[in-house]
Amino acid sequence: MTTTPEATITRAVRWSDVCSYASLTPERGVCAILDGTQVAIFRTFDGALYAMSNLDPFSGAHVLSRGILGTRGGAPAVASPMYKQVFDLRTGICLDDPRVAVPAFPVRRAGDRVEVALTDEHRR
């Protein structure tokens, strides 16, 4: 069996240290710039972490980190402060228009640090 070069390509993932877990206020977002990409990072009341693009695709402004957190249909979500579209924090899918989504990024807690991973396709 032969494989093509495309079949053997894997996306390189690199974890970037963003901030301390304690510095994230529950139900508030922060923005970090990782490799030229603005990332919105959220900590919910239950302690869960989420990361997604900070770019609101409806307004073109980098504002999602300033959105209002809540839930819709049981999904953790953020409402854009611009036109109020709601995005699922787990997937980045717009719950008002599922044809639209923002990239969601892997995020983890490493001790007291929060780390976010971008794949090569998300780096500028």
Mean predicted confidence (pLDDT) in 59-88: 98
pLDDT confidence bin for 13, thresholds 50/70/90: confident
Q: Is residue 67 in a domain? A: yes
Could you give the count of Cα atoms lying within 13 Å of 105 in the half-sphere of its Cβ?
Answer: 30
The residue behind tokens 């989420």 is 50
Residue 97 pairs in a beta bridge with: none
> What is the per-residue pLDDT across 19-67, written as a single tens digit (0 to 9) for each?
999 999 999 999 999 999 999 999 999 999 999 999 999 999 999 999 9
User: What does the alpha-carbon distance between residue 59 and residue 55 come to, in Å, rounded to a whole number?
Assistant: 8
User: Nearest 10 degrees: CA dihedral of 80, 68, 50, 38?
Assistant: 40
As given in the structure block, the two tokens for residue 48 are: 């869960």
Q: What is the CATH number of the domain that holds 35?
A: 2.102.10.10
Q: Is residue 50 in a domain? A: yes
What is the span of the domain harbouring residue 33? 19-122
- 86 or 7, greater pLDDT: 86
Q: Is residue 31 in a domain? A: yes
Predicted confidence at residue 119, as pLDDT, reads 75
The residue behind tokens 């508030």 is 28
Number of domains the chain contains: 1
- Residues of the chain above pLDDT 70, percent: 86
pLDDT reading at 6 higher than 80: no
